[in-house]
Chain A
Amino acid sequence: NAGVTQTPKFRVLKTGQSMTLLCAQDMNHEYMYWYRQDPGMGLRLIHYSVGEGTTAKGEVPDGYNVSRLKKQNFLLGLESAAPSQTSVYFCASSYSQGHYGYTFGSGTRLTVV
């Protein structure tokens, strides 16, 4: 049982390049989330999904897009990377709202130069 798997683990991008971060979960969780973690800022929610085919904006959605075509996958896209998007990105999933904790992936460390 792998839980939540994020790929890649590390990436360096040049300003203006695009990339997609993949999150996959094998727990049949309905809810999935993308957070970014910056020093002194804690975790901030970027986008989330309450089920297959749904997405919604979180606290800091600008510059990111997401898709949830399959229940087990949640993709985070950066169309034109900026240095301000240098961060550690975490994906999480949960079985339901209000009753269970989140299961997190191990993170993707992204540097935009």
Chain B
Amino acid sequence: SQQGEEDPQALSIQEGENATMNCSYKTSINNLQWYRQNSGRGLVHLILIRSNEREKHSGRLRVTLDTSKKSSSLLITASRAADTASYFCATDPYTGANSKLTFGKGITLSVRP
């Protein structure tokens, strides 16, 4: 079963605009992670935010986490055509040594030049 659910399923924006993607989850987490997948490639880890953090930045990426609402958002500022990809949120419950990430179904982002 998939824990994270991303919203919207697809997003199309103009180059230079900001892109906001949301993720909701159902159970308690230790951390939440965002990944990018370019067409035909593997997933690339973008950013990890822990349950005791509310906001984190990495370059043009800004991630927020609201554990009371069980939701996270990924903001990409000043988007570029190269940001066109699928984006996945993944939740880590960290229940011990056998803890695994659970991925959502992904958001398809298209950035028009």
Contact = CB atoms under 8 A, between A and B. Distances in A.
Interface string A41-68: 1111100101000001011000000000
Contacts of A40: 105
Interface residues of B, number: 28
Chain B contact residues, majority secondary structure = loop
A8 to B, nearest CB: 15
Interface string B67-102: 000000000000000000000101010101111111
A92 B45 CA distance: 11
A29 B36 CA distance: 21
Given A90-B42, A107-B41, A107-B42, A102 B105 contact: no
Given A40-B105, A97-B94, A106 B42 contact: yes
Contacts of A83: none
A61 to B, nearest CB: 13
B43 interface: yes
Contacts of B43: 43, 90, 92, 102, 104
Contacts of B48: 100-101
Interface of B: 1-2, 30-31, 33, 35, 40-45, 48, 88, 90, 92, 94, 96-106
19 contacts: A4-B42, A35-B103, A42-B103, A43-B88, A45-B102, A58-B100, A59-B1, A90-B42, A90-B43, A97-B94, A97-B99, A101-B33, A101-B45, A102-B45, A102-B90, A105-B42, A106-B41, A107-B40, A107-B41
